Structure 1
Amino acid sequence: MQIDEAREVRTTCPYCGVGCGVLAKVAADGQVTVRGDPDHPANFGRLCSKGSALAETIDLDGRLLHPEIHGRQTGWDEALDRVASTFSQTIAEHGPDAVAFYVSGQLLTEDYYVANKLMKGFIGSANIDTNSRLCMASSVAGHRRAFGSDTVPGNYEDLELADLIVLVGSNLAWCHPVLYQRIAAAREKRPEMKVVLVDPRRTMTSDIADLHLAIAPDGDVALFMGLLAYLGQHNALDRAYITAHTTGFGQALFAASKLDLAGIAAATGLSEDELVRFYSLFAATAKTVTVYSQGVNQSSSGTDKVNAIINCHLATGRIGKPGAGPFSVTGQPNAMGGREVGGMANMLAAHMEIENPEHRDRVQRFWKAPDIAEKPGLKAVDMFKAVADGRIKALWIMATNPVDSMPDADAVEAAIKACPFVVVSDVLASTDTVRHAHVRLPAAAWGEKDGTVTNSERRISRQRAFMAMPGEARPDWWIVAEVARRMGFTEAFSHVSPTELFAEHAALSGFENDGARDFDIGAYAAVDAQAYDALEPFQWPAPSPGAPLWPPEGDAWARRPEGPVRFFANGNFYTPDGKARFIAVRPTVETRTSPDYPLILNTGRVRDHWHTMTRTGKSSRLSQHIAEPFAEIHPADAQRFGIGDADIVRVSTVHGEALLRALVTARQRPGSVFVPMHWTDQFAARARVDALVAPITDAISGQPASKNGAARLERFAAAAFGFAVLAERPASIDADYWSLARCAAGWRLELALQAGRDWTAFAASLLGADAQSETLAYHDAAGGHYRFARFTGSRLVGALYLAPVPVAVSRSWAVEQLGADHADRRGRLAIVAGRPGGNGVNRGAIVCSCFGTGANQIAEAVRGGCASVAAIGAVLGAGTNCGSCRAEIRTIIDARRLQAAE
């Protein structure tokens, strides 16, 4: 892609399901900068810290640029022929269910569509599943049970129109920051808006909450069953809506009424007063939106949790109306697009059902397919079990990293290693999954490929290329289509552009639909290249002009002129009788702890990293806030197990163990341990947290239960702790615990070692040594303190600090020294000392990644008179860009006020 002059391209962020619009500006010299698209209706110009740093993640460092077979570089023809012939031979010898695709919410809809078409319509198996199974499969199942379709009723505008927002299992401030900021902005305009947070942890989202319910893990079904019973007892039901538009209410209410308030309190870990306060607020507030995410979905009772929430909205008629409805927010940029094309093992394309023979016949006829899968395929956890036991003999993994992200990840890795034939299409040459591939196929990355994604409010947006594909990288749709042609399906996979794929996808959505299916974008079935290139973000449904609505006497969805789309405004659901289904659920709080594993393990995400860090790990800015894996522990549990703040701890389950930094905080629920899931073998020694998670799944959705496992803690008895800054990434790290993160001019490294070493030799192996360099050192053998700094000319090559306790060195200051000039030899002593000189600035731990603002700077500003987040922003800039750090800034302000009061 030749660049002659600066240009700006409208595209979409590749991170979470908010689906923010991005303006990528490419300068004449090829430099890329990004900003939020002020005209995109998902974000109106806002971006979170991750989105703001996108330009820092598009370099070619670590890219897979050429096809490889068994590590040998080859051409596309040989690689594609090998994949096609091996899959064809495996199918001929063992049947279609002996092969599988494991795909990703990182794929574009066009990629997803062609992969699903190949597997279900031409190979004839439904063994295609996605990492979206890990984040929102229970929402899909709950929607289908209640609505007859996988329909998200509302849209983002409802978050701003609601008088009450209930956040359930969602750390919105960190995981969907732009939606959090939209709510915060709406609340500033309408202070009467109330927010309730239901979460075992007091996350940063609690900063906006009027009521935080620190619920026991998996207590959600009981909580919302109790709410349904309360609504019935206090005459807060919409009887007319229930009668006209629903069935099954009596059974659901009867089941809910079996629990009294004391029983609900016992099941949820909440007080009766807290329950009544929440229930009465919900009952009294007509405009209520319940936003739920992974804390609901990632559970062995996730589908029941979803239906327990939906039951309460159906019972009050609060669905499909402005400012009212249940709202599932997805974790990946195209989890919704994957659902639209049937990218999950138990779905057909265009929201049709694989179990339905009429739907199968329709899809088969549309595709002119020789075969069609007749039963659901293997869902993710079962798929990798089938790989392990040999039922699946050829596996193709696209745009995901299951060796790190799947539960029981060590077993998944062993299965992949033992599989006779593994293909991986990816952007990077060295992930924990790619290293086990027999064939590696270089895929195009964000910024290089064209297509569409669908966000959590059913809004379809374009991702547009603004960079040339490097080396021999190709789009995922092209790779799959080329394999399909080589397998003998040339005519059905003759597409030459994503435009054609999108048009086919749209045509299938409207094919024999007549308003009977929720997903319909038939208006775009004839889209051409010019229209596709100019495609504006739009919400579905978007049926072709003149297409009938369902049912004929009313509409299942309502569109305001030039405005958002809400489903179920007038009832009329996608069930055979057009009525929504109440589901009689029951509380299923499982006790998984034991004397050997007495703590509850809860996994999740941090603010500035994403999935397994294949993208965010490239950005030094995104590693400033949290640079190493940690275990968040309540002070009472820390005392119980003899753990101090910043110790290294071993977290163990029956499936595996990890070494993590202890973060002792009262924000954690007693008896629980929270660990983030991002770190991999590329960035840490033993921190693949999903290796600890049991492969327990929801019986209906197949979604793994990643929020409620049984674990134990023990202090890792380190003989020495270390911290280093390095200009170059070390080739190897000889330490029991290590965690590596990018910084502005190199790398930062945390260390812990169980046995002492010859520290001079250890420093030489880590920092290097040659005739052109000079090393300064400080030794305190009696106290166990050692410090080394190596210089080449006036540049710092690396510094290492060792101590018998966690090293007390200003990380942010030490990192800055890598990029500084150290011609003043006397000034080099400050580096050995590990702290700035008299006039030096120690920013402290980074709070605002956008502006690199540290906790010490914020505290100093508070001492200088800044008494609000806005005042801090005016002085330091912190909190004025993406806003993700505003809750933490307020925490520092409150802490300084408390100290002053004392």
Structure 2
Amino acid sequence: MTQHRQQPDSDLLARTTCPYCGVGCGVKAQLVEGRMVDVEGDDQHPANFGRLCVKGSALAETLGDRGRLLQPLVDGRAVDWQVALSETASRIQAIRDEKGNAAIAGYLSGQLLTEDYYVANKLFKGFLGTPHLDTNSRLCMASAVAAYKRSFGADAVPCNYEDLEEAELVVLVGSNLAWNHPVLFQRLRVAKARNPLMRVVVIDPRVTDSCELADLYLGIRPGSDARLFNGLLAWMADKGRLDSLYLQRHTNGFEEALAAAREGESSIEAVAADCDVDTERLETFYYWFASQLHVVTLYSQGVNQSTSGTDKCHTIINCHLAGGKIGLPGAGPFSITGQPNAMGGREVGGLANQLAAHMDYDSPGALERVTRFWSTPSLTPDLPEAPGYKAVELFEAIERGEIQALWIMATNPLVSLPDANRVRTAIERCPLVIVSECMLDTDLVELADIVLPASGWSEKDGTVTNSERRISRQRGMLPPPGEARHDWWIISQVATHLGYSEAFSYAHPAEIFTEHARLSGFENDTQHQRRLFDISALAELDQDGYDALEPIQWPVSVDSPRGTARLFEDGRFATADGRARLWPITPRQPHQTLSSEYPLRLNSGRIRDQWHTMTRTSRAARLMNHRSEPFVEVHEADARHYHLTDRQLARITAATGEMRVRVRISPAQRRGEIFVPIHWTDRLSSAARSGSLFQGVTDPLSGQPESKHGAVAIEPLAMAWEASLIVDEALDIQLGSAVHEASIYWTRIPLEHGVCWQLAGDPFVEQRDWREWLTRMLPVAVGPVAEDISAARLRAAGIENGYLRWWLMVGPIGELPGLGWISQRLEEAAHAQPLTDDQRRRVLAACDDGSANQGPVVCSCHQVGRTAIVEAIRQGDDSVEALGARLACGTQCGSCIPELKSVLEEEKSHANAITADTARAVAVG
């Protein structure tokens, strides 16, 4: 049994692609003696030209065998691959024989490479004959895809990243570009500095870090996007700002779209009132949009994740078509992708409503065409005739018992899907759950009947497609650890055990890629209504050509062998008549309605230094410093109303579940609205899965769930005690569920050489004997102790043979010192360096004599804390540049620059307030 396994050269500089967001940055990885020691941005890659965000910069820190799945598991037992493959195939076949093909389902991920995706789609739809194969890309991109297909005739992003730099106006809608796509934000920053006439508009209910570049901010009411852009279309028509010639030559449906936009009261005042924005500011945006030809509207999950997400996307596209702002440099409706290979997955047919190569079930002749292409001399595919269940529907079908076998690859629906508690119940009831995963300790692995260890970034070898249709190589540089294998190999081997070896006899990912490329060009001509997705010019690549493949944007065909930077430049679209379609849209409110029981609107999203469910990013300790605990952002007035204080613990409840999080009072929030991050899992915190708070309601066209418009309540989580327990890695493994059971709230924060547990519990501090608790919990004797019983404060440490093993502080969380000193002592212990006498004396203080707590980390690249930044400002560093010169903050990836500017503004306001108070005191005196 063989597979393609890349063996590393002892020393090399390899070029690959980042595995995080859809920007698709090129990465140069330095290997020394077969170990990756550093990564940096690839200055030759056209997506980033050498820039790299802090997550990408920390990639080398996320590697290693610790915590990896190293062997297949069947019913909880470690087995060899032969047993695992045989069991997987035989159990799938048994369910097919008893319940039929449609009882089998797969759930994929934008973290898979295109080659993995292609083989999975071919097996499930082509040879298992089930339509029920969907992907977590449904959760972020489906509404944008549905709108593109309905308007342009294809799932085709018309723009590229250079358009952001060539635009006269860039509009960010529901996109916190500064945190979620930071390299693009830095490109936009540079472009704006070079062109003082460029304007940036941010449209978002929250004041995000992206507002740092904004010339105009519209803090709209959540869910009012379609009303705003319908208003823009009507305003353009009323003011004579339409491109009538473009509409006449290249579009259909304008009159109907305009009539819908004018339904009801369409005055600027009425639209402003419905969107809850200032009339003058709204009209300024309308004027800017209508007056410029080179406009890019960049939109993301704030638009897509809605029960009317497709409609919202259509209203944006309608305005671009009506103004002829498409197919030009610096112009177009640009949906920015969330995951590194969401687009690659759609290219091969990874969504339940697709077949393959951008052919759908309703595409003329597609079923028969794909059947002929996938046929072998002795095997004929058994393709389903109709689309399968989309993501949320899929798990509802599992709950009903309709689907009996589920294979999940590279994603964790227990965290990412809405109504997450119900999803967990559904998976628990499923007779056969197969999980392909890199990491051992995830919420999902414990529910799986069969676990198949997969390779990860730096090991995987294949391609990804970014948000601008650019295909890049993700190169395997290191061998997978233990018995981990590549996903395409695992799928192909299961197919072989099912009897389909002739169709899945791949020896290298290059063979899969070229087959995919051939399918994209198969009968793709004017006779068969040409499909826009076409990479057939790459179909003849040999393995050396594939290994050397440079980044290229599709279409890559005979007509455009070097790729295509921008689509629709000739005004011809991928529809039957070659014309784009404007769609009439009637705005709809969010499905999840507020009530007296659940009066607050809930928003969710990513945070700057984390990615998805943190299985990778939590392995880099410095990425945990910016936001180390799950939190909720609350407006100051709401905090007062609900009796919340900053840094207090709170409980958020919804009809579907609850979260326990730490409060952050923030002026960024609108009143009546709160924000939570999506990243924390049951492995990292006691109750912090944001998916548990959202109902499983979806857009009727795209199937994308409404994960931005929850209805919730909030209340203080009254705790009598809080504690920080820091342990080395060996003790952390022993703690297990004991810490969970002892606390109502807990969060596990990985450090460089240990773990910090944030704990809180019910009123028993007076009764608790902490010495007894520590003795029972930790097999290391209690060492020095400092205790103030009357104030419920305690500090203690465990020292064994001169090495620090654990450290505890019980008391108000605001008193927690920086963790760097303790973490450094744990690192020294890991390298057999015992505590010095001075360090023993200072161990309870957790700092060297005279040193100060640096405060919360602002700059993750250089680990610069807020306290140091404030001190530098008060010493006269009054600009981002001056702070960078003194502290290095903001000089690497730039992601912290908006926060640095915010601190500068706060300190300026603070200084002005002090000056004013002094002046008043003098006047009174």
**Residue in 1 that maps onto 2:430:** 419
Name the CA shift for 1:830/1:875 in 2 (closer, same or farther; >3 Å): same
Q: Distance in 2 between matches of 1:354 and 1:829?
A: 72
> Aligned match of 1:475 in 479, 486, 494?
486
Residue identity opposite 1:586 in structure 2: T
In 2, the alpha carbon distance for the partners of 1:891 and 1:200 equals 18
Change (3 A) 1:626 1:180: same
Q: Secondary structure at the residue paired with 2:93?
A: helix
Describe the SS at the equivalent of 2:369: helix
Could you say which residue in structure 2 is the equivalent of 1:295?
302
Of 501-510 and 208-217, deviating more is 208-217
**Conserved 8 A contact 1:648-1:716:** yes
**Which residue does 2:797 correspond to in 1?**
789
CA distance in structure 1 between the aligned counterparts of 2:820 and 2:721, rounded to whole angstroms: 21
Structure 2 CA distance for aligned equivalents of residues 75 and 195 of structure 1? 56
Q: Note the C-alpha offset of 1:333.
A: 0.4
Choose from 779, 783, 799 the match for 2:787: 779
CA offsets per residue over residues 145-168 of structure 1, 9 Å max, x none? 100111100100000001110000
Do 1:66 and 1:74's aligned partners in 2 also have CA atoms closer than 8 Å? Answer: yes
Q: Output aligned runs, 1:520-669, within 5 Å.
A: 520-543=534-557, 545=558, 565-590=565-590, 592-669=593-670
Q: Distance in 2 between matches of 1:707 and 1:216?
A: 12
Partner Cα separation in structure 2 for residue 422 and residue 226 of structure 1: 48
Matched, 1:857 2:868: yes
Map 1:201-220 onto structure 2 (within 5 A): 201-220=206-225
Distance in 1 separating the partners of 2:710 and 2:825: 42
* 2:626–2:858 CA contact under 8 A, matched in 1: yes
CA RMSD of aligned residues (A): 1.7
Who is 2:762 aligned against? Answer: 754
Distance in 2 (CA, whole Å) between partners of 1:140 and 1:622 is 32
CA distance in 2 between partners of 1:804 and 1:608 (Å)? 26
Which of 157, 180, 185 in structure 2 is aligned with 1:180?
185
Alignment partner for residue 248 of structure 2, among 224, 243, 252?
243
Cα distance between partner residues in 2 of 1:59 and 1:311: 49
| Equivalent residue letter for 1:745 | H
Taking the aligned partners of 1:569 and 1:765, their CA distance within structure 2 comes to 72
Counterpart of 2:288 in structure 1 is 281
The 1:521–1:762 alpha-carbon spacing in structure 2 relative to 1, beyond 3 Å, is farther
**1:262: how far off?**
3.1
Distance of 1:766 and 1:357 partners within structure 2 = 69
- The residue aligned with 2:279 is 272
Q: CA deviation at 1:731?
A: 2.6
Q: 2:919 — aligned with what?
A: none
After superposition, give the CA deviation of every residue in 1:4-54 in whole Å (9 maximum; x if it has no partner): 641011111000000001111110252431111110000111111110000
CA distance in 1, matches of 2:840, 2:642: 41
Total equivalences in the alignment: 885
Contact 1:601 1:708 in 2 (8 A): yes
The match for 1:800 is 808
Match of 1:553 in 2: none
- Which one of the candidate residues 225, 239, 242 is aligned to 1:234? 239
- Mapped pair 1:37 → 2:42: yes
Residues 767 and 799 in structure 1, CA contact (< 8 A), matched pair in contact too: no
Alignment of 1:154 onto 2:159: yes
Cα 1:482–1:311 shift into 2, 3 Å: same
Equivalent position of 2:918 in the other structure: none
CA distance in 1, matches of 2:611, 2:870: 29
Give, in angstroms, the shift of residue 837 of structure 1.
2.7
SS of the equivalent of 2:425 reads helix
Distance 1:762 1:131, change over 3 A: farther
Could you state the TM-score of these two structures normalised by the residue count of structure 2?
0.93
How far apart, in 2, do the equivalents of 1:748 and 1:539 lie?
45
Q: 1:206 to 1:766 in 2, by over 3 A?
A: farther
Matched, 1:318 2:329: no
2:462 is matched with which residue?
Answer: 451
CA separation of 1:856 and 1:761: change in aligned 2, threshold 3 A: same
Q: What displacement does 1:209 show?
A: 0.9
CA 1:834 to 1:759, structure 2 compared with 1: closer, same or farther past 3 Å? farther
Tell me how far apart the structure 1 counterparts of residues 640 and 908 of structure 2 sit (CA, whole Å).
27
TM-score using structure 1 length: 0.96
Kindly indicate whether residue 257 of structure 2 is the aligned counterpart of residue 252 of structure 1. yes
Matching of residue 832 in structure 1 with residue 844 in structure 2: yes
- % identity of equivalent residues: 49
Q: Which residue of 1 aligns with 2:334?
A: 327
Q: Find the residue that maps to 2:35 and give its secondary structure.
A: coil
Q: 1-side partners of 2:516 and 2:776: how far apart?
A: 53
Query: 1:836–1:842: 8 Å Cα contact kept in structure 2?
Result: no
1:343 aligns to 2:350 (yes or no): yes
Q: Is the 8 A contact 1:748 1:815 kept in 2?
A: no
- Does 2:366 match 1:359? yes
Task: Give the residue type in structure 2 aligned to 1:874.
Answer: A
Give, as a single letter, the amino acid of the residue that structure 2 aligns with 1:167: L
**Per-residue deviation at 1:84?**
1.2
Decide whether the 8 Å contact of 1:140 with 1:150 is kept in 2: yes
**How far apart in 1 are the matches of 2:156 and 2:769?**
61
Aligned to 1:884: 895
CA contact (8 A) 2:29 2:36 kept: no
CA displacement, residues 315-365 of structure 1 (integer Å, 9 cap, x when unaligned): 011111100001011110000000100100001211111123411111111
- Among residues 44, 59, 62, which one is paired with 1:57 in the alignment? 62
Deviation string, structure 1 residues 676-705 (Cα, Å, up to 9, x no partner): 010011111111121111101001000000
Residue matched to 2:203: 198
1:551 aligns with none
- CA distance in 2: counterparts of 1:448 and 1:809, whole angstroms: 38
CA pair 826-526 structure 1, distance change in 2 beyond 3 A: closer
| Residue of structure 2 in register with 1:550 after alignment | none
Which letter does structure 1 place at the counterpart of 2:551?
P
User: Which stretch of the first structure deviates more once superposed, 238-247 or 683-692?
Assistant: 683-692
Q: 5+ residue gaps in structure 2?
A: 1-5, 914-925
How far the C-alpha of 1:201 sits from its partner, in A, is 0.6
Partner of 2:120: 115
Matched to 1:399, the amino acid is A
1:135 counterpart residue number:
140
Q: Which amino acid aligns with 1:534?
A: A
Which amino acid in structure 2 is aligned with residue 788 of structure 1? A
Alignment of 1:426-465 (within 5 A): 426-465=437-476
Q: Distance in 2 between matches of 1:3 and 1:394?
A: 37
Of 73, 80, 91, the residue aligned with 2:78 is: 73
Mapped partners of 1:57, 1:819: distance in 2: 17
Q: 1:816: Cα distance to partner?
A: 4.3
Residue identity in the other structure for 1:506 = A
Q: 1:498 aligns with which of 486, 490, 509?
A: 509
Aligned to 1:554: none
Measured in 1, the distance between the counterparts of 2:459 and 2:170 equals: 38
Match of 1:386 among 361, 381, 397: 397
Distance in 2 of aligned mates of 1:805 and 1:860: 23
1:822 Cα shift? 7.3
Change (3 A) 1:85 1:4: closer
8 A Cα contact 2:233 2:322, kept in partner: yes
SS in 1 for 2:479: coil
Paired residues of 2:554 and 2:563 also in contact (CA < 8 A): no
> Counterpart of 2:303 in 1: which secondary structure?
helix
Identify the match of residue 149 of structure 2 among 140, 144, 147.
144
2:412 alignment counterpart: 401
What is the identity, as a one-letter code, of the residue corresponding to 1:66? Q
- For residue 760 of structure 1, what is the amino acid of its counterpart? W
Residue 818 (structure 1) shift: 3.7
Q: Could you say if the C-alpha distance between residues 822 and 897 of structure 1 is closer, same or farther in structure 2, counting changes exceeding 3 Å?
A: farther
Deviation at 1:715, TM superposition (A): 0.3
In structure 2, distance between residues paired with 1:51 and 1:739: 25
Q: Which residue of 1 aligns with 2:774?
A: 764
Contact 2:890/2:896 (<8 A) preserved:
yes
Structure 1: tracts of 5 or more residues without a match? 548-558
In 2: Cα distance, 1:562 partner to 1:539 partner:
8
Greater shift in the superposed pair: 262-271 or 111-120: 262-271
